[in-house]
Amino acid sequence: MEAPQRNLALDLVRATEAAALASGRWLGKGDKENGDRAAVEAMRISFKTLDMDATVIIGEGEKDKAPMLYNGERLGNGKGLKVDLAVDPVEGTNLLALGRPNAIAVVSAAPAGAMLDPGPSFYMRKLVVPAQAKGCVDLDAPVGENLIKIARALDKDVSDLVVFVLEKPRHQGLIQKIRETGARIQLHTDGDVAGALMAVNPDSGVDLMMGTGGTPEGVLAACAIKALGGEMLCRFDPQLESEKRAVLDFGLDLKTVLTADTLVKGDDVYFAATGISGGTFLRGVRYTGGGATTHSIGMRGKTGTVRILESRHNWEKLMGFSSVKYDS
């Protein structure tokens, strides 16, 4: 019998918990920079304790952008598996700053060389559906045609569907087309990764996600989508001519339809997220005088294992984090 392999998602949860505990102190204070910085510092401290030799493929810019977790940064203690990482210590910095729902701390991991490096691509067009609708949608099909097929796959009327869409000027036409079909919409100002998770989670109240969002967030979400058996179809969608030129110069194709398997190869993938502000599927950090409680999710692609974790933290026993107690 083959010995069971370690579930790296449980290690990643430690990093997302640390980021959430740190940034949650900045909820609603209108300061997204310091909220993000607190999460980055805590996540970096946490990774120093983890047995892995990790390289950040999806981070927050180049090395001169430090102290953010930058692309190419090495994390972990160097003693364990070689992995690629996609990190977002605060996914939804505006949500955190304004005290709105669905700000989360997120990390995805895959074996070294498995993650696509999107280089200078900031935006991609995405269509995310749950497992039941996998294989029945087309990124280039009319909106109404896709919604009809998704509704049929989910055994619903189109009018029963709820579509997650980012509330951006670029989506005015998309929103109108969705409304014309009779489907319902949840508009969110931010939270691209959270939207993808809602689309593949049958208990979220959201049936799919449509529209153009972040490329880094697409790679981050791909690991969770693979673990939950959903599907993401996407294409690089630069919003500025300068971005388009940079993407082409980097060697990326603007015509090819990508999938979660394109963004992250194989099924040996891991995903972890911890709620910061609270929301649809993860509760936010709850503080007490002596500690805090966090709510997290950890996923392993190879086995399809999904763990929901509620953790209680004592400030005095949190290694290293008491020095980053995150008061403003």
Domains of the chain with CATH codes: 8-114+268-319 (3.30.540.10), 123-263 (3.40.190.90)
For the entire predicted model, the pTM comes to 0.91
Binding residue per annotation — 123? yes
Report the C-alpha gap between 83 and 49 in whole angstroms. 15
Query: Annotation-wise, does 70 bind a ligand?
Result: no
Q: What percent of the chain has pLDDT over 70?
A: 92
Q: Is 214 assigned to a binding site?
A: yes
Is 35 marked within a binding site? Answer: no
What CA–CA distance (Å, rounded) separates 210 from 164?
6
Per this entry, what is the length of the chain? 328
pLDDT of residue 63: 45
Average pLDDT over residues 224-243: 96
Residue 205 assigned to a binding site: no
User: Facing residues of 231 across strands?
Assistant: 129
Give the per-residue pLDDT at 289.
82
Report DSSP letters for 6-66, one per residue. Answer: P-HHHHHHHHHHHHHHHHGGGTTSS-HHHHHHHHHHHHHHHHTTSSEEEEEEESSS-GGGT
Annotated binding residue at 267? no
**Segment 187-220, tens digit of pLDDT:** 999 999 999 999 999 889 999 999 999 999 999 9
Asked if residue 85 lies in contact with residue 56, where contact means CB atoms within 8 angstroms, the answer is yes
Which band of pLDDT confidence, cut at 50, 70 and 90, is reported for residue 316? low
Is 305 labelled as part of a ligand binding site? Answer: no
48 labeled part of a ligand binding site:
no
Cα of 239 vs its chain's centroid, Å: 21
For the cut 60, the answer to whether the pLDDT of residue 3 exceeds it is: no
The annotation status of 60 as a binding-site residue, yes or no, is yes
167 is in an annotated binding site: no
- Confidence tier at 290 by pLDDT (50, 70, 90): confident
Q: Is 310 annotated as a binding residue?
A: no
Beta bridge partners of 272: 107, 298
The 8-class DSSP code of residue 49 comes to T
Segment 55-89, tens digit of pLDDT:
999 997 654 444 589 899 999 999 888 999 999 99
Query: What is the tens place of the pLDDT at every residue in 258-271?
Result: 999 999 999 999 99
